[in-house]
Amino acid sequence: MKHTQNRTQKTFCKLLFAVLLPSVFCQSAFADDPLPSVMSLDYCSDQYVLSLADRAQIVALSKAAEDLYSYHRERAKGLAKSGSTIAEIVIASPDVAVQTYSTAARMGEITEKAGIVLLNTSYGRDLDTMYSNLSMIADAIGKQNEAESLISDYKTRLENIRSTPRSDFTVAYVTPGGFTGGKGTFINDIIELSGFQSYAAINDYNGWLPLPLEDMIMNPPDIIITSFFDSQLQNQSRWSVSRHDHLLNMMEDIPTIHLPGALMACDGLFLIEAAEQIRSDAKALGVLHE
């Protein structure tokens, strides 16, 4: 029944939508690839799909797949992009669609009627949630071996990070908006995983909160970490503490690590990569010796 339906939809795509939609949408429909086809609906699900799927399997990614905050943006080049509307998904007719959040209220209902398997990734900043999401998507698109290899690699790298000596240096995190992440946030997890002391945890900050500049002045951290400073500063609030002259001077005097926004954009999805980069940059700055 599914194959009959797919043939009907693909013929419909060929005859009526070849002019209206990018041709690459239809190209996937006629590819002789035995693996299930897949479509990603947002840029965090893009990262999962680009980590696992063959390019020939990917019907389309989200429009944000090549944005600055997309970690696998280089892999996304040359692949079709969509607005993730229900109409586009039904027309593209992938075997599997992946989303990390709902892009339309009736998405589940419509994709089920269209014979498309809709996967919703689980939310969570812990590595077990990431492993579970990778395995779920891999099972659906025939990429179990790739997921097992990726998870095994992550576990090895995690063990390597945890086995390295810890440092007593304190690390404070600053966003362009002047916020910091305390206990219970993924940035706090990343700092502690990287082997440093979290300035926010030591000062008993909880969750996301405006950075208390007074604390920074009275008791400066040993290292500052920023992220999303690779965006346009003119888009930031002119009243943000991150624009304060004293903090900017501190960032000149205190070793500062600038993490790419792509490492932070999907709530801990690249936690290991971020921790590794912090350690690498700290060595380059001469504040970490192993």
Residue 167 three-state SS: coil
Q: What is the pLDDT of residue 217?
A: 86
Please report whether residue 165 resides in a domain: no
Domain annotation covers residue 11: yes
> What pTM did the predictor assign?
0.82
Residue 239 located in a structural domain = yes
Do the bridges between strand 256-259 and strand 38-40 make them parallel or antiparallel, or are there none, so unpaired?
A: unpaired
Q: Where are the alpha helices (DSSP H) in the chain?
A: 2-16, 23-30, 43-52, 73-76, 86-92, 107-113, 127-141, 144-162, 186-193, 199-202, 213-218, 245-253, 271-284
As a dihedral over the C-alpha atoms of residue 23, residue 40, residue 87, residue 77, rounded to 10 degrees, the angle is -30
The overall longest dimension of the chain from CA atoms, in Å, is 70
Q: Is residue 134 part of a domain?
A: no
> Which pLDDT does position 8 carry in this prediction?
44
Token pair for 255:
């070793």
When divided into structural domains, the chain yields a total of 2
| Structural domain boundaries, residue 37 | 2-123
Is 44 contained in some domain?
Answer: yes
| 14 within domain boundaries | yes
Q: List per-residue pLDDT tens for the chain, 290 residues long.
A: 444 344 344 444 433 433 444 444 444 444 455 899 999 999 999 999 999 999 999 999 999 999 988 999 999 999 999 999 999 999 999 999 999 988 788 899 999 999 999 999 998 888 999 999 999 999 999 999 999 999 999 999 999 999 998 999 999 998 877 889 999 999 999 999 999 999 999 999 999 998 888 888 899 999 999 887 554 444 444 434 455 566 777 888 899 999 998 998 887 789 999 999 999 999 998 887 76
The residue from 123, 156, 181 where one domain ends is: 123
- Contact status, residue 40 vs residue 65, Cβ threshold 8 Å: yes
Same domain, 114 and 24: yes
| CATH code where residue 94 lies | 3.40.50.1980
Looking at the domain assignment, is residue 132 inside a domain? Answer: no
**Is the four-CA dihedral 256, 257, 262, 266 of positive or negative sign?**
negative
Which residues, at least 6 apart from 19, have a Cβ–Cβ distance to it below 8 Å?
Answer: none
